[in-house]
Every structure is written in C-alpha cells, then in structure tokens.
C-alpha cells in the first residue's frame, strides 16, 4: 500500500481528485452565496439548512475539511520534493518562455488561498462553530444574512477578499484543466475542458468578489 | 558576429564549478551552435586553456547527445531543434550567451557541459522493450493490421531521442514526457500491449527511484522538446499506470 501512495503518478492523481472535489464545493458555495444578493430569506433558508442538516454538518463537512487539508499538505510536500530534485539551480532560467505564470507558481497562488481560508474560517466558520457547539445558543434561522452583511462593512477586509479571489482565479486557471490531464484525460474534448476552465476560473472568483463588494456598498 | 559567452566550467563531478566569460569573434550566422563551440575550443586550445567539454555525436538532430541549456532554455531559443541544429543566426552581433549543462539531481555533471544521463538508460532497461522469442518463429510485424491513428501516435512517441531537454526545462526536473513517450510507443501497438502493465509499472517505479521530480503539467517539456513529443503521452501513461495498478 505504501508503494501505491509513494508512486509519483498516484500523488498527481490524488492532487487532481482532491482539487476537483474542492472545485465542486466552491461552485455549491457560490450558488448559495449569490442568493444573498437577490433574496435575504432564500439565503437564510439555504444557510440554515447547511448549518443544521446532520448529513451536511457531520458527514460532508468533515470530508470537506479533510479534502482541504489533504490538498494543501500534499501540495506543499510535492513542491518541496520538486524543488529538491534540482539542488544546483540554473544561473539563467527563462521559465516564462515555455510555461504560463499560473502553472509555474501554483504554490504561491495556493499559499495566498490558504491564507485567505484562515481569514475566512476566522470570519465565519469559527464563530459558527462557537455559536452552535460551544455556547449552544438558540437556533435562529434568520441570523445568517445579517452575519454575512456585517462582515463586509470593513473596506480592508473586502479588499483582502477581492485580492484573494484574484489569486484563486490564477490557481484555478491552471489547476482545473491540469486535473484532467493528471487523471489521464487528454483527448478531443480538451478544447471544451480548457474553455470551461477559463469560464469557471474567472467567473466564480469574479462572482465571489461581486458578492463581497455588493454587501460593502449595501451598507 | 562578435559574442560574449558565459559558460559553466566544472573540472569534474566533485568540483564546485563556476561561470567563466569568453569573448569570441568572426562567428558566421550560418554556423551551427556546436560549430561556434568548436571555434571557441580551437581558440582555447591555442591559448593553452582546457577546451569546454560538451556532448555531441550525429550533429543531425537525431542522436540526442547534445544537451546545452542556452540563455535559460534547453537547446536554446529555437523550437523543435536540438543544440546541433540551432544556428547562430538566432543570435545578434554583440549578444551575451549563457551556456549551462542540463541540470537535475538525476543528471549529475561529469565535466563542464557534459552530464550523466544514464538514469534514462536505467528507465529503459526497466521495461522499454518488447520481449520477443527470436528462435525462428517470430511473426512478421507487417502481417498484423494496426489502425493508422494508433500507428501514427506510436510513431510520434517513438521519435523521442532521449536527449533530456524535458527534464532540463521542467521546473520540477520531471522525466514524465520521456518515460511516457517510451511507454506509449509500445502500448499503442499490438506487440506492446502484451507486456503493457508490467512495462508502465516498472518504468515509472524506476523513474521515481532515480529521483526525478513530479509533473505539474506546466507544459514546458512539450514546448522545449526538439521532437515535439505531446503531453497526450503523459495523460496516456497516467491512465495506463492507474489501470495497471488496479489490475495488478
């Protein structure tokens, strides 16, 4: 079993699968959040369901947290291994001549996204866990919209969020289509995958930025 | 043309090595890069300096011997050519040209610009062949019908000359393009399918043992490959490897 995990291709496939899992989660997260722009009550209903449903809270959430931790830890481990495979560096190395900035700097965009996640957890997830499982405060299905709106009163925070979404976009621009290549999918549908990658990688972070700016301006 | 060359000089594998500058004149734009290196070595020899060691053989772009990292790119700024097929017309009079050996832990420097690429040989030995009984009953390969698309893809993969530009240019020193080409050239053909599972498992295992980095799909290897080996081969090897792992 340890041989299977140590194989470089298995590590690649594991990164790809966990990445695609997070991409699907991101879409679901976006769909719920965008409702806050149109309807306070729909956003509250969705959020209350996600925050109180047993399957979401005690099965999906731990899987998601495992997926996030796995993707980041594996990413850093692989980056360390990759850097170690060339101990003596080139004096002159022209990486931009044959590969995109995004593909060469996934560790940088990934590290920014990780920093953002820490901030995001501090803003939303930790208070939510504290509300439900530490202080055991009474169930209030209408509190979610106000909590969200309150978080985006601070311009500095909105700017930090928007910058982070920019790096998320850069990460996705390479990561999405790259995941398919890692899983062995490189065929006549490549054009579709690459087109969808661009649409998703720009559209979703742009949408998240819009939500943050909307709530800031809505005060 | 008049050029300044900044060349990596290293006496042997234990030497630390450093960049040394040389000025060179009267270089014709029609010379190949290796001919320019020959002129430099003539000059160094007549000055009583040890000539620059570099690999070369056919000088026709098919043997895969030449292996220089020129101005930050494997085989220099031109595309789909080896260093021996790179011509000085790609540079301008007065240019400074940086020349380094292919760098990777798995390609240790032997001297100056010569690196040890025997790790590729060991990967080939691990499975880059077809076992055929040659005792007189071997079937004529031309008697086996092969779909043209597969034959073309196998032939494209087989054009890999094992120069190591993919490793040299990859920011992770990954050998996936080379190994996938060698796996694909057999796995696409009926004769190669028989041993396909063992081949991909053994070659990837050897590749990992040699200490090459992991592929992150930057695509730099495909761009710098003098034979234009496609990333499609890496995807094919990934799925062949997964299939073989599950079925073994």
pLDDT in tens, B188-227: 999 899 999 999 999 999 999 999 999 999 999 999 999 9
Domain B3-111 -> CATH class? alpha beta
Helix and strand numbers, DSSP H then E, in chain B: 9, 7
* pLDDT at site A89: 97
B218 contacts in chain A (CB < 8 Å): 98-100, 103-104
CA dihedral B121, B123, B128, B134 (to 10 degrees): 60
Residues of B in contact with A8 (CB under 8 A): 176, 204, 207-208, 212, 214-215
Q: Using CB atoms, pick whichever of A12, A178, A183 lies closest to residue B214.
A: A12
The B residues from 129 to 168 touching A (CB cutoff 8 Å) are: none
Residue B248 confidence (pLDDT): 79
- 3-state SS of chain A is CHHHHHCHHHHHHHHHHHHHHHHHHHHHHHHHHHHHHHCHHHHHHHHHHHHHCHHHHHHHHHHHHHHHHHHHHHHHHHHHHHHHCCCCCCCCCCHHHCCCHHHHCHHHHHHHHHHHHHHHHHHHHHHHHHHHHHCCCCCCCCCHHHHHHHHCCCHHHHHHHHHHHHHHHHHHHHHHHHHHHHCCCCCCCHHHHHHHHHHHHHHHHHHHHHHHHHHHHCC
Q: How far is B138 from chain A (nearest CA, A)?
A: 34
Tokens 């992991």: give the residue: B214
Q: What ranges do the domains of chain B cover?
A: 3-111, 118-131+146-247
**pLDDT attached to residue B160:** 98
Using CA atoms, how far apart are residues B184 and B175, in angstroms rounded to an integer?
14
Average pLDDT of the residues of chain B: 96
Tell me, what's the pLDDT at A3? Answer: 61
**Residues 6 or more apart whose Cβ sits within 8 Å of residue B153:** B184, B188, B232
Residue B137 has pLDDT above 80, yes or no: no
Q: What is the CATH number of domain B118-131+146-247?
A: 1.10.1060.10
Share of chain B above pLDDT 70, in %: 100
| Predicted local confidence at residue B141, as pLDDT | 79
> In terms of DSSP bridges, do strands B96-101 and B3-9 run parallel, antiparallel, or are they unpaired?
parallel
Collect all residues with Cβ–Cβ distance below 8 Å to B133 and sequence separation of at least 6.
none
Classified as helix, coil or strand, B7 is strand
d(CA A196, CA A176): 9
Cβ-proximal residues to B1 (8 Å cutoff; 6+ apart), any chain: B25, B26, B27, B28, B29, B88, B91, B92, B93, B94, B95
Choose the closest CB to B216 out of A87, A90, A106: A106
Per-residue model confidence (pLDDT) at position B132: 78
User: Rounded distance, CA A116 to CA A98, Å?
Assistant: 30
pLDDT in tens, B83-110: 999 999 999 999 999 999 999 999 999 9
pLDDT tens string A77-108: 999 999 999 999 999 999 999 999 999 999 99
Q: Is B206 on the interface with A (CB under 8 A)?
A: no
- A16 contacts in B (CB within 8 Å)? none
pLDDT number for residue A55 = 96
Enumerate the residues of chain B whose CB falls inside 8 A of the CB of residue A188.
none
**Whether the Cβ atoms of residue B5 and residue B59 lie closer than 8 Å to each other:** no
Whole-angstrom distance, CA of residue A204 vs CA of residue A120:
17
Measured between CA atoms, the residue of chain A closest to residue B221 is: A98
Q: What is the model's pLDDT at position B155?
A: 97
**Mean predicted confidence (pLDDT) in B139-161:** 93
Q: Are B11 and B114 in contact (CB under 8 A)?
A: no
Which residue stretches of chain A have pLDDT < 50?
1
What is the pLDDT, as a whole number, of residue A4?
Answer: 61
């Amino acid at each position: 079993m340890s041989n299977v995990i140590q194989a470089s291709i298995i590590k690649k496939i594991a990164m790809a699968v966990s990445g695609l899992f997070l991409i699907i989660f991101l879409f679901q997260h976006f769909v719920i959040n965008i409702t806050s722009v149109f309807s306070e009550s729909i956003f509250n209903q969705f959020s209350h369901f996600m925050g109180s449903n047993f399957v979401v809270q005690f099965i999906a959430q731990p899987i998601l947290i495992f997926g996030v931790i796995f993707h980041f830890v594996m990413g850093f481990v692989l980056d360390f291994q990759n850097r170690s495979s060339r101990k003596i560096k080139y004096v002159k190395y022209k990486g931009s001549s044959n590969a995109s900035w995004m593909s060469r700097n996934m560790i940088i965009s990934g590290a920014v996204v990780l920093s953002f996640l820490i901030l995001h957890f501090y803003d939303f997830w930790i208070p939510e866990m504290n509300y439900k499982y530490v202080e055991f405060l009474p169930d209030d299905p209408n509190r979610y919209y106000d909590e969200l709106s309150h978080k985006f009163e601070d311009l500095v925070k909105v700017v930090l969020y928007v910058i982070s979404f920019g790096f998320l976009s850069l990460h996705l621009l390479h990561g999405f289509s790259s995941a398919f290549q890692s899983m062995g999918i490189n065929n006549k549908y490549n054009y579709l995958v690459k087109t969808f990658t661009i649409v998703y990688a720009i559209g979703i972070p742009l949408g998240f930025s819009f939500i943050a700016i909307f709530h800031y301006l809505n005060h | 043309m008049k050029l300044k060359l900044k060349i990596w000089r290293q006496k042997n594998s234990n030497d630390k090595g450093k960049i040394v500058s040389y000025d060179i004149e009267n270089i014709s734009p029609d010379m190949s890069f290796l001919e320019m290196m020959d002129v430099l070595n003539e000059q160094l020899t007549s000055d009583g300096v040890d000539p620059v060691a570099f690999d070369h053989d056919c000088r026709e772009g098919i043997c895969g011997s030449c292996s220089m990292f020129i101005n930050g790119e494997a085989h220099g700024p031109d595309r789909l050519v080896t260093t021996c097929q790179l011509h000085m017309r790609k540079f301008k009079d007065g240019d400074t040209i940086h020349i380094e050996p292919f760098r990777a832990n798995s390609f240790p420097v032997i001297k100056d610009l010569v690196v040890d690429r025997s790790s590729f040989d060991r990967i080939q030995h691990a499975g880059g062949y077809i076992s055929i009984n040659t005792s007189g009953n071997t079937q004529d390969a031309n008697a086996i019908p092969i779909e043209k698309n597969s034959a073309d893809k196998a032939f494209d993969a087989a054009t890999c000359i094992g120069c190591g530009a993919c490793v040299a240019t990859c920011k992770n020193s990954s050998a996936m393009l080379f190994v996938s080409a060698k796996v694909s050239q057999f796995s696409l053909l009926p004769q190669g399918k028989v041993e396909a599972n063992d081949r991909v498992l053994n070659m990837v295992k050897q590749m990992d043992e040699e200490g090459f980095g992991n592929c992150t799909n930057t695509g730099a290897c495909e761009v710098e490959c003098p034979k234009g080996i496609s990333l499609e081969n890496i995807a094919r090897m990934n799925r062949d490897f997964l299939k073989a792992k599950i079925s073994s």
